[in-house]
Homo-oligomer: A and B are copies of this chain.
Amino acid sequence: MSKENIQSIVDRYIDVSFSVTKKEEALMTKELGSEITQDQHYILRYIYRVGSCTSTELAEAFEVKKSAITAIINRLWEKGFIKRTRDEKDRRVVYLTLTEQGEEFFQRIEEKINCLIEKLISKFEPSEMEQFIKTYEKLNQMLIEIKDNQIDHL
């Protein structure tokens, strides 16, 4: 592959990933309404999936400092979506779970977002979308390896 071709692919990749991310966020924000933000939604999503987790775990998953998580959790806690439970054995640890209200809220939101993405995805041939996601997941795997191995130069 020639240098020009690679450069063109790189340019197209940067443009399209930026553009798609922006537009999807805009659509999602519309679905979320004014109740919660994107970041808060992703945190709810994470906790919903795993059932229970700690601030440290969230900080690692989202690649931010723990104090950033504290701030988001505080806002979700004020809305009544999050419950904090101290570990009785190791009293430093605080387990985060969704309240009943938080769970209901998340499910309601998630249905809308699933619907949105589904309609978007369903415009493609299943095989094309399958291949797209496979490559996307491969890319993700490579990024995980880069991070784990601390290979700054790849």
Which residues of chain B are near A147, meaning CB under 8 Å? 23, 26
The interface size bin for chain A is 35 or more
Out of B119, B130, B136, which one reaches A20, CB within 8 Å? B136
Contacts of A10 in B (CB 8 A): 114, 117-118, 121
Known contacts A6-B118, A42-B18, A63-B22; decide if A143 and B13 are in contact (CB<8 Å). Answer: no
Chain B residue with the shortest CB-CB distance to A116: B154
> Is A146 on the interface with B (CB-CB < 8 A)?
yes
Q: Is the CB of A1 within 8 A of B140?
A: no
Residues A27 and B146 in contact, CB atoms below 8 Å apart: yes
B113 adjacent to A13 (CB under 8 Å): no
Number of copies of chain A assembled together: 2
Which residues of A28-47 have CB atoms within 8 Å of chain B's CB atoms?
30, 42
Chain A, 102-117, CB within 8 A of any chain B CB: 113-114, 116-117
Q: Is the CB of B140 within 8 A of A136?
A: no
From known contacts A123-B142, A126-B1, infer whether A133 and B12 are also in contact, taking CB-CB under 8 Å: yes
Q: Which residues of B contact A18 (CB under 8 A)?
A: 42
Question: Are B27 and A137 in touch, CB under 8 angstroms?
Answer: no
Q: Which residues of B contact A50 (CB under 8 A)?
A: none
Q: Which residues of B contact A132 (CB under 8 A)?
A: 131-132, 135-136
Binding site for B on A (CB under 8 A): 1, 5-7, 9-10, 12-14, 16-24, 26-27, 30, 42, 62-63, 113-114, 116-124, 126, 128-133, 135-140, 142-144, 146-147, 152, 154
